[in-house]
């Protein structure tokens, strides 16, 4: 196992370089003084280059090939074989892209970001369209270098959700959409919920204290992680023992920090939960962005917006903000935090309408990539889909097709993972409750240990051993499906809205 | 200039790796959760290894040799020639040490640190002595690999104060010591100063606010730097545009944070003050640890503990802590903050006795290295020197020869730079006042701009162009000397103590 062991050491070194890059990224968003931006950008480029060169170098290839021979007689289910499968996948993808193309995309997206910021500020799609065309061209090249069997979009999707095919995503989405649109329509016909109690005056220090109490209770380990303030909430990790989340506080919108903190904690519990014996190996990683999102959504929505959760914790919340919520009943608060309303901005959408925003983007991306729609026609097509899915039409591009940063980063294929994770969260939760009958009762008592243990064992500790579809199959005994999610939404929201 | 330019690019890449390591170090001391320590130690090792291998690699050698040919016809005073001289110096030193020895020292000092912590806690020199003997052996090997003409200590000193010889340090120290001992004795015979007003109740938030106001006034650029809380105060830099200081707050000892902040700001002003045209080149660096310390000491002591400074800022300080200092006159406060008293612990020593602590360590290190004293006899020799220099004898090794971390890190040759910097601060300040007659008056008005400009031009912007002795010569027109420092101390403290 000489080559195998040397390969693991080399990959661990690359991992340390990437962790250093992640620390630099965390620092940039949380603490870096303004003046450091230029130098920091160069540091990212240098560390990225060194890491990439180490990974695609001949030494890695030699060790990987040698290791594959050493491990060839072992079971394909052995840790060594699963490790090499994951490394081979990464390696083959990395070497397929010409360095010049990677560099061109790096430059193009840096410029595109500036263009997008200006276009969005001026709500003017025309400014952004030529840039987007160029990025689509580059992405088509990427897809062609990666290769694909069925659709070009497969090759891009695979970067974020390994092994998943466009047709599979479409199937899951198509199963879900009619039921979702129906539920949205039924809710729209019901009396609206008043969420103004969530817009009262909530002292940020109190918000922070309450959030910390909740995520400690959920199992976030502050000995192996921390929470900071940043403009954009995110979770980052420098190994299983140093996982950090960020939060932003809005004095007059309670869910911003509170539900955001629980969401990021869902991500963090995944990262803190990898198997210690996988430390410093390629297995100590998430299997996909979709699985990552399934963890954040599960904790944020299925747990954190449940009636059982607030039955236990609403009194504590009221105590945290003396006088602020005295006149708001538990039932009113529960409904407020679950208000459903078609809206324009994806990141502000509730859990019913959210997947529709994603489906729209999925349709647009496929069409743009296949050139069945021209970039110039995106605003019109966007608005038409908004009417179809959500029954509303944005009045300008800033709150329409210019709202997201992703396209300026050429991240085509990324959006589906948000909805896949959301859908998967319900499928996993349903299975968890069947596997361990104590979970439902524990959650009613505000205890999260049994749920976390189940997730640890079934989702976190496997790490990157299995492709996402394999892991769903192993855990749930079935392929990814949206019935569980639709069932969850209908049960919950028909009750919330009394329909 | 093909090789020269490629060399600069390569060194800039190594610089970015080293900056990343520095960010990791800052994070470790300021924010890292406890659980991240193990992984972080490995990250340091990996980044250090990659950086070292890039620097000593054949590619660097080839570019350096090629660049030296390209630049050979230029004036030795040209930036290119000065750059290559500095790089050649670093390169030759780096390649001289066998990798195995560097690794052995890394391991030995990691273990030695643990041993030292325990020995100090138990005040038991015998526990530490065998470890120290081993580290001395390793350091003798280092010195032999580096090579030296006169004394073995020269080779170690050169790591921290490039080009400086042990005999030169001894000369400066010998010039200073008699006058210093005499001043300490005279002060000891005078009525003692009451510094209890500094031990009152100072709200840390107020200390932070006051410190920030002062260092802003001094010229610390918060757009290109920041201040955080850490157990050990330090200054670190990730390039000229991101320079960070840390502070610790002691509620009941005002000078801890305040003078510590001003001290670290002195370091930071140096780092923020390198010439923008030297960005990402080897010239954008300090010339030596001694010069670095000259900047921190100048601002902390010569400026921050001056009567002129407090004439202006004492009222602000009183206002910052309402009621706390109302009964303390400006004169009493000024004297309190300049109290001189022989004490055992170096890091708590006043500016008169401080260099004596260093001289003692300098003597001990030379003797241990030359084996004119055995490691076992260090406590006795230490205590004897304490009696001779300061007139006091520690009652145990924890407050004697076990107090400093440096020997456990095999950092022999480092201590002198503290005193050299302290001495140099007075030499530079004397010259600054002669060069620009406005400085003295500006300082009396609490204005620091003219002093900072002089330092920028004469000390900061030259960066690493000149060896420390050359820079002293260029700026002051003479070799390093201690007359200025002794004159400064005698003028100030004979006034403070009325002797």
B33 closest CA partner among A224, A23, A238, A264:
A224
Average pLDDT of chain A?
A: 96
Tell me what pLDDT residue B110 has.
86
Question: pLDDT tens for residues B15-35?
Answer: 999 999 999 999 999 999 999
- Give the Cα-Cα-Cα angle B342, B343, B345 (nearest 5 degrees): 145
Single residue among A46, A65, A96 that ends a domain in this structure:
A96
Shared-domain flag, residues B323 and B405: yes
Shared-domain flag, residues B196 and B91: no
Tell me what pLDDT residue A217 has.
98
- DSSP at A440: H
Residue A9 in contact with partner chain B when CB distance is under 8 A: no
Shared-domain flag, residues A88 and A130: no
CA B476/CA B455 separation, integer angstroms: 12
Question: pLDDT tens for residues A121-180?
Answer: 999 999 999 999 999 999 999 999 999 999 999 999 999 999 999 999 999 999 999 999
Question: pLDDT tens for residues B112-159?
Answer: 999 999 999 999 999 999 999 999 999 999 999 999 999 999 999 999
Range A229-235 average pLDDT: 93
Shared-domain flag, residues B244 and B386: yes
Run of H or E including B226: strand B225-229
Does the structure show a pLDDT above 90 at B99? Answer: no
Q: Report yes or no for ipTM above 0.85.
A: yes
Range B406-433 average pLDDT: 97
Q: The whole model's pTM is what? A: 0.95
Residue B29 in contact with partner chain A when CB distance is under 8 A: no
Question: pLDDT tens for residues A379-406?
Answer: 999 999 999 999 999 999 999 999 999 9
Shared-domain flag, residues B224 and B302: yes
Interface test with A, best of B35, B224, B271 (most A CBs within 10 A): B35
Instruction: Let me know: does B356 contact B180? Beta carbons within 8 Å.
Output: yes
Name the residue range of residue B64's domain.
2-96
Question: pLDDT tens for residues B343-399?
Answer: 999 999 999 999 999 999 999 999 999 999 999 999 999 999 999 999 999 999 999
Q: Compare all CA atoms of chain A with the CA of B17 and give the residue at the minimum distance.
A: A47
Shared-domain flag, residues A91 and A129: no
Confidence label for A99 from pLDDT (cuts 50, 70 and 90)? confident
Residue A212 in contact with partner chain B when CB distance is under 8 A: no
Does the structure show a pLDDT above 90 at A110? Answer: no
Kindly state whether residue B118 falls inside one of the protein's structural domains.
Answer: no
Interface test with B, best of A16, A216, A227, A237 (most B CBs within 10 A): A16
Q: What residues of B are in contact with residue A34 (Cβ under 8 Å)?
A: 223-224
**Which residues have a Cβ under 8 Å from the Cβ of B398 and sit 6 or more positions away?**
B120, B121, B123
Range A458-468 average pLDDT: 98
Question: pLDDT tens for residues A194-206?
Answer: 999 999 999 999 9
Single residue among B96, B117, B149 that ends a domain in this structure:
B96
Kindly state whether residue B319 falls inside one of the protein's structural domains.
Answer: yes
Kindly state whether residue B119 falls inside one of the protein's structural domains.
Answer: no
- Give the Cα-Cα-Cα angle B163, B168, B174 (nearest 5 degrees): 155
Shared-domain flag, residues B90 and B231: no
Does the structure show a pLDDT above 90 at A374? Answer: yes
Q: What residues of B are in contact with residue A31 (Cβ under 8 Å)?
A: 226, 228
Q: What residues of A are in contact with residue B34 (Cβ under 8 Å)?
A: 223-224
Q: Compare all CA atoms of chain A with the CA of B14 and give the residue at the minimum distance.
A: A46
Tell me what pLDDT residue A103 has.
87
Q: What residues of B are in contact with residue A12 (Cβ under 8 Å)?
A: 42, 46
Instruction: Let me know: does B356 contact B178? Beta carbons within 8 Å.
Output: no
Confidence label for A80 from pLDDT (cuts 50, 70 and 90)? very high
Shared-domain flag, residues B45 and B194: no
Question: pLDDT tens for residues A35-58?
Answer: 999 999 899 999 999 999 999 999
CA B102/CA B95 separation, integer angstroms: 11
Q: How many CB pairs lie under 8 A apart between chains A and B?
A: 111
Q: Compare all CA atoms of chain A with the CA of B225 and give the residue at the minimum distance.
A: A33
Q: What residues of A are in contact with residue B238 (Cβ under 8 Å)?
A: 36, 39-40, 43
- Residue B405 has a CB neighbour count (10 Å cut-off) of 14
Angstroms from A357 CA to nearest CA on chain B = 37
Residue B59 in contact with partner chain A when CB distance is under 8 A: no
Angstroms from A47 CA to nearest CA on chain B = 7
Tell me what pLDDT residue B438 has.
98
Kindly state whether residue B259 falls inside one of the protein's structural domains.
Answer: yes
Q: What residues of A are in contact with residue B242 (Cβ under 8 Å)?
A: 32-33, 35-36, 39-40
A375 closest CA partner among A181, A122, A155, A112:
A112
Q: Which of residues 227-256 of B touch A (CB under 8 A)?
A: 228, 238-239, 241-242
Kindly state whether residue A104 falls inside one of the protein's structural domains.
Answer: no
CB contact under 8 A, B221 and A38: no
Angstroms from A272 CA to nearest CA on chain B = 11
Residue A42 in contact with partner chain B when CB distance is under 8 A: yes
Share above pLDDT 90 across residues of chain A, in percent, rounded to a whole number: 97
Angstroms from A364 CA to nearest CA on chain B = 40
Strand-pairing partners, residue B227, are: B245
Sheet holding A243-247, edge to edge: A225-229, A243-247, A235-237
The C-alpha R_g of chain B, in whole angstroms, comes to: 23
Shared-domain flag, residues B88 and B152: no
Kindly state whether residue B282 falls inside one of the protein's structural domains.
Answer: yes
Residue A272 in contact with partner chain B when CB distance is under 8 A: no
Strand-pairing partners, residue A227, are: A245
Shared-domain flag, residues B161 and B87: no
CA B255/CA B253 separation, integer angstroms: 6
Shared-domain flag, residues B326 and B188: yes
Interface test with A, best of B18, B22, B26, B27 (most A CBs within 10 A): B27
Q: Residue A16 is nearest to which of B31, B43, B242, comparing CB atoms?
A: B43
Range B45-64 average pLDDT: 95
Q: What residues of A are in contact with residue B23 (Cβ under 8 Å)?
A: 20, 23-24, 27
Tell me what pLDDT residue B103 has.
87
Share above pLDDT 90 across residues of chain B, in percent, rounded to a whole number: 97
**Which CATH number covers residue A133?**
1.10.1370.30
Q: Which residues of B are catalytic?
A: 264
Residue A41 in contact with partner chain B when CB distance is under 8 A: no
Question: pLDDT tens for residues B298-350?
Answer: 999 999 999 999 999 999 999 999 999 999 999 999 999 999 999 999 999 99
Q: Residue B17 is nearest to which of A46, A225, A279, comparing CB atoms?
A: A46
Per-residue buried b or exposed e for B115-150, using 16+ beta carbons within 10 Å of the residue's own CB = bbeebbeeeebebbbebbebbbebbbebbeebebee
**Which residues have a Cβ under 8 Å from the Cβ of B460 and sit 6 or more positions away?**
B269, B270, B273, B274, B275
**Long-range contacts at A477-482 (CB < 8 A, ≥ 24 apart):** A477/A431, A479/A168, A480/A168, A480/A172, A480/A420, A480/A423, A480/A424, A480/A427, A481/A172, A481/A175, A481/A423, A481/A427, A482/A172, A482/A173, A482/A175, A482/A176, A482/A423
- Torsions phi, psi of B247, nearest 5? -140, 150
Kindly state whether residue A301 falls inside one of the protein's structural domains.
Answer: yes
CB contact under 8 A, B242 and A23: no
Range A258-265 average pLDDT: 97
Shared-domain flag, residues A128 and A74: no
Single residue among A68, A96, A124 that ends a domain in this structure:
A96
Kindly state whether residue A105 falls inside one of the protein's structural domains.
Answer: no
Q: CA dist A498 to A191, A194, A335, Å?
A: 9, 14, 11
CA B364/CA B404 separation, integer angstroms: 13
Confidence label for A28 from pLDDT (cuts 50, 70 and 90)? very high
The active-site residue, picked from A68, A161, A168, A264, is: A264
CB contact under 8 A, A280 and B42: yes
Question: pLDDT tens for residues B103-122?
Answer: 899 889 989 999 999 999 99
Residue B35 in contact with partner chain A when CB distance is under 8 A: yes
Tell me what pLDDT residue B190 has.
97
**Residue B24 in tokens:** 């990791």
Count of the separate structural domains present in chain B: 2
Residue B39 in contact with partner chain A when CB distance is under 8 A: yes
3-state secondary structure of B228: strand
Instruction: Let me know: does B204 contact B310? Beta carbons within 8 Å.
Output: no
């Amino acid at each position: 196992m000489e080559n195998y062991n040397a390969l693991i050491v080399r990959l661990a070194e690359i991992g340390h370089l990437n962790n250093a890059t992640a620390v630099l990224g965390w620092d940039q968003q949380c603490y870096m003084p303004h003046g450091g931006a230029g130098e920091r950008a160069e540091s990212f480029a240098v560390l990225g280059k060194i890491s990439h060169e180490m990974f695609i170098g001949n030494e890695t290839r030699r060790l990987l090939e040698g290791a594959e021979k050493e491990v060839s007689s072992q079971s394909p289910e052995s840790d060594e074989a699963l490790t090499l499968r994951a490394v081979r996948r990464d390696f083959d993808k990395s070497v397929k892209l010409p360095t010049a193309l990677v560099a061109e995309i790096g430059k193009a997206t840096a410029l595109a970001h500036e263009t997008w910021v200006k276009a969005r500020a001026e709500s003017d799609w025309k400014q952004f369209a030529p840039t987007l065309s160029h990025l689509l061209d580059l992405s088509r090249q990427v897809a062609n270098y990666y290769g694909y069997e069925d659709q070009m979009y497969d090759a891009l999707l695979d970067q974020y959700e390994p092994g998943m095919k466009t047709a599979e995503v479409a199937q899951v989405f198509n199963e879900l959409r009619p039921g979702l649109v129906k539920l949205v329509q039924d809710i729209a016909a019901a009396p609206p919920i008043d969420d103004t109690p969530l817009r009262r005056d909530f002292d940020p220090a109190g918000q922070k204290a309450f959030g910390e109490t909740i995520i400690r209770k959920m199992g976030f380990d502050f000995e192996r992680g921390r929470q900071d303030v940043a403009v954009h909430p995110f979770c980052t990790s420098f190994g299983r023992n140093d996982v950090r989340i960020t939060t932003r506080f809005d004095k007059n919108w309670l869910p911003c920090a509170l539900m955001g903190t629980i969401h990021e904690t869902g991500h963090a519990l995944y990262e803190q939960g990898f198997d210690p014996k996988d430390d410093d190996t390629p297995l100590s990683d998430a299997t996909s962005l979709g699985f990552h999102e399934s963890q954040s959504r599960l904790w944020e929505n299925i747990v954190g917006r449940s009636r059982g959760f607030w039955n236990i914790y609403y009194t504590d919340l009221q105590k945290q903000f003396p006088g602020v919520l005295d006149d708001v009943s538990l039932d009113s608060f529960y409904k407020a935090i679950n208000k459903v309303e078609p809206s324009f901005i994806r990141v502000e959408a509730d859990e019913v309408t959210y997947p529709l925003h994603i489906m729209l983007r999925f349709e647009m991306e496929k069409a743009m990539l296949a050139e069945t729609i021209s970039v110039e026609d995106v605003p019109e097509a966007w608005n038409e889909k908004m009417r179809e899915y959500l029954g509303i039409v944005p009045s300008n591009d800033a709150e329409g097709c210019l709202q997201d940063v992703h396209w300026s980063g050429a991240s085509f294929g990324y959006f589906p993972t948000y909805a896949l994770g959301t859908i998967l969260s319900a499928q996993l939760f349903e299975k968890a409750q069947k596997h361990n009958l104590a979970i439902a009762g524990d959650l009613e008592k505000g205890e999260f240990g049994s749920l976390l243990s189940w997730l640890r064992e079934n989702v976190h500790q496997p790490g990157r051993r299995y492709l996402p579809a394999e892991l769903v199959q192993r855990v749930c005994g079935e392929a990814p499906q949206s019935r569980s999610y639709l069932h969850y939404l209908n049960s919950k929201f028909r009750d919330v809205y009394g329909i």
